[in-house]
Amino acid sequence: MSGAGHNPVARPVEGTVVIVDLDRFGEEVERRGWSEWSPNEATGLLSSLVERLASRWGGVVVYGLDWERGTEEAVLEFPLVEPRELEADLREILERLEAEAGVSATAVAVWGLVTGRPARSRREAYHGTPTRRLAARLLGKAKRSGGGRLVVYP
């Protein structure tokens, strides 16, 4: 069926799911006296870096980009882009957060099927597909082992 306004649901394709999450951010907010409700030097910077990454690689922000409050975490999908292609840019994001805002972050990049559509909820963003679930598990493991890491899988 075709017609004006009809948008068929695209099939998932291979690509990369990326999750970037600021480490121990609640502690940093409290320690530095930052507001949780408006951008600060870390969340404002992460917003800019996430938007730039998505634009550069034709990615879709699935969840988390928040210009009003600042971005503490973000889930992105990059159809037809392999994790290793994103590795240098992700490493730069982590390095810039440390150098410019004094915060550490953890990032994961996982190859698998991606939908290329924003999520309707945080739960869907992290668990809505097998690739996102794997990325979330790897993120949790990296954060439990101290954070400040980049995980590229496979």
In this prediction, residue 6 carries a pLDDT of 43
Q: What is the mean pLDDT of residues 55-72?
A: 97
What are residue 82's phi and psi, to 5 degrees?
Answer: -85, 150
In this prediction, residue 37 carries a pLDDT of 84
pLDDT in tens, 1-12: 444 444 444 689
Query: Residues 74-112, buried b or exposed e (16+ Cβ, 10 A)?
Result: bbbbbbebebeebeebbeebbeebeeebebbbbbbbbbb
Q: What is the mean pLDDT of residues 78-89?
A: 98
pLDDT in tens, 102-141: 999 999 999 999 999 999 999 999 999 999 999 999 999 9
Burial of 15 (0-12, 13-18, 19+ CB in 10 A): buried
CA 9 from centroid of its chain's CA atoms: 23
Q: What is the mean pLDDT of residues 84-94?
A: 98
In this prediction, residue 36 carries a pLDDT of 79
Calculate Rg over the CA atoms of the chain. 16
Domains defined along the chain, listed by start: 13-153 (3.30.70.1230)
| Structure tokens given for 29 | 């907010």
Are the beta carbons of 125 and 75 closer than 8 angstroms?
yes
In this prediction, residue 13 carries a pLDDT of 96
Q: Can you tell me the distance from the alpha carbon of 150 to that of 135, in angstroms, rounded to the nearest whole number?
A: 12
In the chain, which ranges are E strands? 13-22, 60-63, 73-79, 105-114, 150-153
Q: What is the mean pLDDT of residues 83-88?
A: 98
